[in-house]
Amino acid sequence: MVPNVQYRFDPGRIEIRESANGEDAEFLIRIPDGSPYLEAMKQIRQYFEDNDEITDVLFYLYPGHEIKAIVNRAHYADFLGELWKRRLLLSLEWKE
């Protein structure tokens, strides 16, 4: 089970579709061409790819700036936290 977390985003800024991938969570992310948030997404990718501790957040790159991220449930909150820190999410909260 992924943690009980609720998030909101601006669909004009980013499109996020989340689904289950086995025991992991899979995010399909699309950011419009020319958006300044493309750089933010690149930084998030680099953050996880350079991270020697969190090695279970994997990125797959598709044409048209579409990114698939397969995120281990242990790092679900870490991944969303990075999106929020770089303003790709409007809000992020624990659901009681």
Partner 1 sequence: MEQQALIAIGIFLATYALIVSEKIHRTIVAMIGGVLMVALGIVEQDDALYHIDFNTIGLLAGMMIIVTVTAETGVFKYVAVWAAKKARGNPVRILVALCLITAVGSAFLDNVTTVLLMVPVTFSITRQLRVSPMPYLISEIISSNVGGTATLIGDPPNIMIGSAVKELTFSAFLANLAPIAAVIMLAYIPLFVRIYRKSLRTTPELIRSIMEMDEKESITDRKRLVQSLSVLAMTILGFFLHQALHLESATVALAGAFLLLLMTGEHSMEHALAKVEWTTIFFFVGLFALVAGLVETGVISRLAVQAIDMTGGDPVASSMLILWLSAIASAFLDNIPFVATMIPMIQEMGNMGVSDLEPLWWSLALGACLGGNGSLIGASANLIAAGLAAKEGHPIKFVQYLKIGFPLMLLSVLLASAYVYLRYLL
Among the listed ranges 2-10, 11-19, 41-49, 78-86, the one in contact with partner 1 (CB under 8 A) is 41-49
Tell which one of 1, 63, 91, 94 touches partner 1 (CB under 8 A).
63
Among the listed ranges 1-9, 10-18, 57-65, 81-89, the one in contact with partner 1 (CB under 8 A) is 57-65
Burial class (CB in 10 A: 0-12, 13-18, 19+), 37: middle
Angle formed by the axes of helices 76-85 and 37-49, to 10°?
140
DSSP H or E stretch at residue 72: none
Instruction: Please tell me whether residue 46 binds partner 1 under the rule CB under 8 A.
Output: yes
Instruction: Please tell me whether residue 51 binds partner 1 under the rule CB under 8 A.
Output: no
